[in-house]
Amino acid sequence: MLKVLQDREGQKKRSGRPAALSLGDQLLLTLEFWREYRTFFHLGQAWGLDETTVQRTIERVEGFCQVKFG
């Protein structure tokens, strides 16, 4: 799954603010959400991120996974 994210990220045009987490951490955050089904607030507290950042990260990774594995 990490390879899929890395390939997808390599194809993207670089603009805007860089991500707060590495691709590996983004995947880990998403997998933690899927496994434990914790709220965005609690994941944000655990990872030191804002609730909205957690939501956007999980939605982006889920979108990549749905396109690839779908």
pLDDT in tens, 35-51: 999 999 999 999 999 99
Examine the pLDDT at 54 and tell me if it is beyond 70.
Answer: yes
Q: Between these two residues, 64 and 30, which has the higher pLDDT value?
A: 30
Find the mean pLDDT for residues 23-39.
Answer: 94
Q: Between these two residues, 36 and 63, which has the higher pLDDT value?
A: 36
The vertex-35 CA angle with 32 and 17, nearest 5°, equals 30
Find the mean pLDDT for residues 1-24.
Answer: 81
First to last CA, the chain: 13
Cβ atoms of residues 29 and 42 within 8 Å: no
Q: Between these two residues, 30 and 66, which has the higher pLDDT value?
A: 30
